[in-house]
Amino acid sequence: MTKKMIFPLIFGLSGVIVLLSLGVWQIQRLEWKQDVISKIYERRNGEPVSLSDNYKTSSPETHNYLSVFLEGKIKENEAHVYAPQKSGLGYRIVSEFEWNKLSIMVDLGWVPKNKKNEIRPIGDARIVGYISYPDDHDDSFTPEPDIINNIWFSRFVPDMARQLKVKPFLVVAEQIQIKENGLWTDYQSVKPLPISLNIKNDHREYAITWFSLALVWFLMTIYLLWRIKQKTV
């Protein structure tokens, strides 16, 4: 080995080590993400549990998408979140919900644009749904809400809670029953709109990319060293 080959060798091996390290890191992230997704699906698809047993300990890391049931009162206080669907323009109806001596928020579901301001039934209700910590708000891109016309462009829980004067806690309804004339009946005024789980997990592709770059870098290093050796022979 000549002196001219030492620096390219060190540089080449360092690059390979860095790229391999990034690939290994992505494999570790892949395993972590798979565990997170597995727990989310377990919470989402499990038997509904009482919200009373989970409200105080709830957090995005441990309770997001947890299937729950609760009973209380739907109140007339609402926030309307713009949510166009394939069927047309419309809004999510996020209502104040009186529960366990507290007022929280329940995403009752979706209504078409022409039913945004209709008067909906209120009163005693049973809800089966899931705890939600929405991530559809972006400070850089989400427009400010139109408070006068009650139009929101994301379910930004802290601001909505302040506007509705309730606790910053959201349950997305999947099944709703309301008591009418002493009988429990299905709530027909909105269409429940639960979120389908489609969680991205690109870490495998990232790992393959880094490992591929490491291989290319290694081959380029070998080629460069070969060229240097040929010129010094």
CATH code of residue 76 = 2.40.50
pLDDT at 197 over 70: no
pLDDT band at 61; cut points 50, 70, 90: confident
Contact 172, 194 (CB under 8 A): yes
- Rounded to the nearest 10 degrees, what angle do helices 203-232 and 3-45 cross at? 170
pLDDT band at 7; cut points 50, 70, 90: confident
Per the domain annotation, does 99 fall within a domain? yes
Per the domain annotation, does 9 fall within a domain? yes
Per the domain annotation, does 194 fall within a domain? no
d(CA 151, CA 96): 16
Same structural domain, 73 and 148: yes
pLDDT at 56 over 60: yes
Domain that residue 97 falls in: 66-186
d(CA 110, CA 79): 12
Contact 150, 214 (CB under 8 A): no
Same structural domain, 103 and 182: yes
pLDDT at 144 over 70: yes
Residues 6+ apart with CB under 8 A from 72: 97, 98, 99, 100, 124, 125, 127
Q: What single-letter amino acid sits at 223?
A: Y
Per the domain annotation, does 166 fall within a domain? yes
Digit-coded pLDDT (tens) for 64-116: 889 899 999 999 999 999 999 888 999 999 999 999 999 999 999 999 999 99
| pTM of the predicted protein model | 0.72
Q: What mean pLDDT is reported for the chain?
A: 88
Same structural domain, 12 and 78: no
